[in-house]
Chains A and B, each alone.
Chain A
């Protein structure tokens, strides 16, 4: 089974510039998540999609961050304009909402996109 694909792996930009990250989840996984992980902290949920609908975007800074999952498969996260505090790893994850204990609601992460804002 192919894993969660993310690109780019690394990105360095200047503040006030824009950046976009792409994610392709595991085939068949209906739920897709974008997390932000700042150094020394745990991942923080930015947005959760169920198919192409948004389930939770309460912690997404909507003045500068946007995300879409138009066809219910791959997704793009955009930051415009970037701030210094946006320097972090952006992790995409997907899950299959199975039944029973085994594998239910388990998140599988991509390798992440490391953003440095100068």
Chain B
């Protein structure tokens, strides 16, 4: 079993749609959680950190369920520019490594 698992998609949605991505992790001792965005042939960039209380940044909402070892990302009112691969990242202790999922690909169509 992979340490971090994501639904690879692809997700093809029309502009304005709401889309949700899920991610599960196997190490219950994991402490920090993130979503990164990666555009085609570019490097990953931080989209948002995920906090236990859940957090929102504009159209993006991230949630963490430690009991189920599950992280989610919700994108509301999708834009064409949201088309990218979304990577779930889980980190162990402060000095621990950051483990990436294989990503979920989103294509937003006009």
Interface positions of A (Cβ within 8 A of B): 33, 35, 40-45, 48, 50, 55-56, 91, 97, 101, 104-112
Is B103's CB under 8 angstroms from A112's CB? no
Q: List, sorted by A's number, 30 A–B pairs whose CB atoms are closer than 8 Å.
A: A33-B97, A33-B98, A35-B100, A40-B102, A41-B103, A42-B4, A42-B87, A42-B100, A42-B101, A42-B103, A43-B44, A45-B99, A48-B97, A56-B97, A91-B43, A97-B94, A101-B51, A105-B91, A105-B94, A105-B98, A106-B34, A106-B46, A106-B49, A107-B36, A107-B44, A107-B46, A108-B46, A109-B44, A111-B42, A112-B43
With both beta carbons as reference points, the residue of chain B lying nearest to A40 in the complex is identified as B102
In the complex, which residue of chain B has the Cβ closest to the Cβ of A106?
B46
| Chain B positions within 8 Å of A107 at CB level | 36, 44, 46, 89, 98
A residues in contact with B49, CB < 8 Å: 101, 106
Is B72 an interface residue, CB under 8 A from the partner? Answer: no
Question: What is the distance, in angstroms, from A55's C-beta to the closest C-beta of chain B?
Answer: 6
Check if A109 sits within 8 Å of B43, measured CB to CB.
Answer: yes
Q: Is the interface of A mostly helix, strand, loop or mixed?
A: loop
- CB of B95 within 8 A of CB of A45, answer no
How near does chain B come to A8, taking the closest CB pair, in angstroms? Answer: 15
Report which of B32, B42, B51 forms a contact with A105, defined as CB distance below 8 A.
B32
- Say yes or no: is B59 at the interface (Cβ < 8 Å to chain A): no
Per-residue contact bits, chain B 42-61, to A (CB 8 Å; 1 contact, 0 not): 11111001010000000000
Whether A43 touches B100, Cβ cut-off 8 Å, given contacts A107-B46, A111-B42, is yes
